[in-house]
């Protein structure tokens, strides 16, 4: 999920709202594909793999050229011992590394070419395209028995003059239920491009559709399209739906509006769109086991206006998550959870950023999806902004805020490292089965060592997350330069 984008949003002080309804247009192309699985598996070995983007990393001395590091799963989880690190200077990867390209700023995985191996879509929003300094590109990198080898193609921008930063947001899902992985691409504009699976070796898809969102693309100083995209089946019809985290203004300060677009037999539907509670990042999973995906949106940084209309010009709350339960008709009732709710670990304090990032997965194998929530600006033991991750468990009645919640930090016994100022442990989180035991493990990104970043693996015991058997992967383990602020673990593929 896209911490760099959210960091940029937190500096914005104004934007303008353009109204209007969703509009739809379709264009054609040609080809065949396969459905996205719950976890990424680039080498087809059955273990989940983790992709960590480092768009701020140096490549060949070029600042912020960007890389992606793939940590391959195995019986002992993920670590730097089995990895592939790719940049635009890697053989077969489209393009050439240049300063400020930001390769790896966004990523999404799915079997886009239908060969049985997951592939990776990588956004490079700072890429210069012709005379457009920030035109942006999207690369499709193919999976194989050896994992991601770097072989891939460019997904051509169909409207380069109408936006910047093509590929700054990405998501994949099966929106028409045909068993093929589809891809959604966003930019600074309010238009989303939806590519139906599957892609040919040359990067074409059977069809391409566009959606016009009621989201202003920004101002001259802050050009933002959608903040985040995520796919999941909310209405239980066997097709992926799309949730869009958007960016608008209502007062002098911006606020965030989210939208739900259902999947149909012909793909995403613009006619049934619903407005959701706010949130800058979203995950989808069945928390209460009723067969419908629940929408969990993090509001770590309250961007100007609360849902009740209260204007807040700064991060004056500790953050929260909005949980909108799914139903046959789509989004239904919403619950709000923060660190003052029930027996959720900790307490809500100004600037904690509870909900900065989140993810869902079944940690204990009980059939109910659990939630990992990052609070990267949490102060612990007098250490400023060291960060913490909270795990809340699902149940037949929804998220359990009464008992069983876990709080994990680098000061937790057995967790690698220690609480240090500005570590931002929890800047990104991922719940995936990476050791093959059928239970979701926790993977945590941090700003370790002054922005170098790290990835911490914390396995499931079968009932909860544990530090026993944990691993820490630093930039050096992944072959990434420590120049600048690479921020390994700031952005995991979803």
Residue of 216 and 267 predicted with greater confidence? 267
Statement: residue 160 has pLDDT above 70 = yes
- Locate tokens 């709350």: which residue? 317
Mean per-residue pLDDT of the chain? 87
Model pLDDT, residue 27: 37
pLDDT digits (tens, 9 = 90+) for 353-374: 999 999 999 999 999 999 999 9
The percent of residues above 70 in pLDDT, for the chain, comes to 85
Model pLDDT, residue 215: 53
Statement: residue 379 has pLDDT above 60 = yes
Q: Which of 53, 51, 145 is nearest to 434 (CA)?
A: 51
Least-confidence region, from 18-32, 124-138, 308-322: 18-32
Specify the pairing of strand 320-327 against strand 311-312.
Answer: unpaired
> Cis (ω within 30 of 0) for the bond into 430?
no
Residue of 408 and 275 predicted with greater confidence? 408
Statement: residue 467 has pLDDT above 50 = yes
Model pLDDT, residue 494: 85
Are 478 and 80 spatial neighbours (Cβ–Cβ below 8 Å)? yes
Mean pLDDT for 441-446 is 98
pLDDT digits (tens, 9 = 90+) for 62-100: 999 999 999 999 999 999 999 999 999 999 999 999 999
Pairwise CA distance, residues 183 & 112, whole Å: 8
Statement: residue 29 has pLDDT above 80 = no
Model pLDDT, residue 173: 96
Pairwise CA distance, residues 154 & 168, whole Å: 15
Count Cα neighbours of 428 within 13 Å in the Cβ-side half-sphere.
28
The Cα-based distances of 487 to 197, 221, 427 in angstroms read: 32, 24, 10
Q: Kindly report the pTM of this predicted structure.
A: 0.91
Are 72 and 82 spatial neighbours (Cβ–Cβ below 8 Å)? yes
């Amino acid at each position: 999920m896209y911490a760099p984008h959210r960091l940029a949003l937190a500096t914005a002080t104004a934007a303008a709202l353009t109204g209007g309804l969703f509009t739809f247009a379709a264009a054609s192309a040609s080809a065949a594909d396969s459905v996205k699985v719950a976890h990424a598996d680039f080498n087809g070995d059955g273990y989940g793999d983790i992709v960590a983007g480092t768009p701020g990393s140096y490549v060949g001395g070029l600042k912020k050229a960007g890389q992606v590091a793939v940590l391959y799963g195995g019986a002992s989880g993920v670590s730097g011992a089995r990895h592939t690190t790719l940049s635009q200077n890697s053989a077969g990867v489209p393009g050439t590394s240049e300063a400020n390209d930001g390769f790896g700023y966004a990523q999404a995985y799915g079997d886009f070419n239908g060969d049985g191996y997951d592939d990776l879509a990588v956004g490079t929003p700072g890429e210069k395209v012709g005379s457009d300094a920030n035109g942006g590109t999207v690369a499709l990198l193919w999976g194989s028995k050896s994992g991601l080898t770097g072989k891939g193609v460019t997904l051509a921008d169909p409207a380069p003059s109408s936006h910047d930063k093509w590929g700054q947001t990405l998501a994949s899902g099966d929106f028409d239920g045909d068993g093929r992985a589809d891809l959604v691409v966003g930019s600074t504009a309010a238009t989303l491009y939806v590519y139906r699976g599957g892609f040919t070796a040359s990067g074409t898809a059977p069809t391409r559709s566009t959606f016009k969102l009621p989201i202003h693309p920004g101002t001259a100083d802050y050009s933002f399209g959608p903040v985040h995209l995520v796919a999941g089946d909310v209405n239980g019809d066997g097709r992926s739906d799309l949730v869009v985290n958007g960016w608008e203004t209502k007062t002098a300060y911006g606020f965030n509006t989210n939208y739900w677009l259902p999947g149909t037999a012909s793909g995403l539907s613009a006619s049934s769109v619903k407005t959701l509670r706010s949130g800058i990042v979203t995950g989808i999973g069945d928390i209460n086991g009723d067969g419908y995906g629940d929408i969990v949106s993090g509001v770590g940084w309250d961007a100007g206006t609360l849902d009740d209309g209260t204007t807040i010009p700064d991060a004056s709350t500790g953050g929260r998550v909005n949980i909108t339960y799914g139903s046959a008709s789509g989004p239904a009732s919403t619950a709000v959870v923060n660190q003052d709710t029930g027996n959720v670990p900790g307490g809500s304090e100004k600037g904690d950023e509870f909900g900065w990032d989140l993810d869902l997965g079944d940690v204990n194998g009980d059939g109910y999806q659990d939630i990992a929530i990052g609070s990267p600006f949490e102060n612990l033991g007098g250490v400023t902004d060291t960060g913490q991750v909270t795990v809340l468990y699902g149940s037949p009645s929804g998220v359990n805020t009464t008992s069983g919640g876990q709080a994990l930090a680098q000061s937790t016994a057995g967790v690698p490292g220690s609480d240090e100022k500005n570590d931002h442990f929890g800047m990104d989180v991922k719940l995936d089965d990476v050791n093959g035991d059928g239970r979701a493990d926790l993977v945590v990104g941090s700003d370790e060592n002054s922005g170098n970043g790290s990835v911490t693996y914390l396995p499931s015991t079968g009932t909860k997350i544990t530090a026993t058997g944990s691993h820490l992967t630093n930039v050096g383990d992944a072959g990434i330069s420590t120049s600048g602020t690479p921020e390994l673990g700031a952005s995991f593929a979803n």
